[in-house]
Amino acid sequence: MTQKKPNLLNAAIALFFIATGLNSSAQDWKTEQKINVLFGLSQPLLCHGFNFEFNYIHKRMIFDFSQGFSLEFEGNTLPNELIKQGVVVRMPWTTGFGIGYRITEWLNLRVEPKWHRFEFYYDNEGKYQGNQIASYNTFTLGLGLYGCYQPFKKKDNFLKGITIAPSIRYWPTVASTLKDNKVTYSNLYTGSNEEIKTYGPGVGLAPLIINVSIGYSFQIKKKN
């Protein structure tokens, strides 16, 4: 677990350099229409969960919908205060959409409203409602910078649509169902009153999210 985070970060940074450095000399990408189907890598590698994303690209605009399932935050994917409390976090769902603009053929910026569900449990105990310490929903509103690279785009076979999409997103929490954005409870492990607060949806429960997605692009229309 400790080695996966830097590896994923290094991969995302490297792919961003590739994505921002590549730009077709032709301008037909500005008139293309296509659909991307993508699957995130950080969710299964770091959080034992799953995430898919759909993009609809219309000329220089991009629209997306994404859905995450059964994300588990434990060990190094938690902030230190929850590790000390012996608490783990389950995110049964995270969902939302984005609207963006293609800066270049391979780079786009999006505004992204998202909704997230957080559930807190003691480590090594069953994750069902009777064992919950606390739970709440949050709404985040932020920005995402995305690469969208097709390494085989010039091929005339099935490899053409393979897509790699690194991303850096900042999703601050703007609303929460948790009253006063915190709750105090008596911790069974520490024997003291501890606090659970409103957290972000990224690794370490931070608002910053770095990911790499892979998938396939299906071209709808392209004008010459």
* Residues 136 and 173: beta-carbon distance below 8 Å: no
- Say what the pLDDT of residue 129 is: 83
C-beta contacts of 134-137 below 8 A and 24+ residues apart: 134/178, 134/183, 134/185, 134/196, 136/176, 136/177, 136/178, 136/198, 137/176, 137/177
Q: Side chain identity at 17, as an amino acid letter?
A: F
For position 125, what pLDDT does the model report? 86
pLDDT confidence of residue 223: 52
Can you give the pTM of this predicted structure? 0.85
Cβ within 8 Å of residue 95, ≥6 positions away: 66, 67, 68, 114, 115, 116
Tens-digit pLDDT string for the chain (224 aa) = 444 455 655 655 665 555 555 544 456 899 999 999 999 999 999 999 999 999 999 999 999 999 999 999 999 999 999 999 999 999 999 999 999 999 999 999 999 999 999 999 999 888 888 889 999 999 999 999 999 999 999 899 999 999 999 999 999 999 999 999 999 999 999 999 999 999 999 999 999 999 999 999 999 865 55
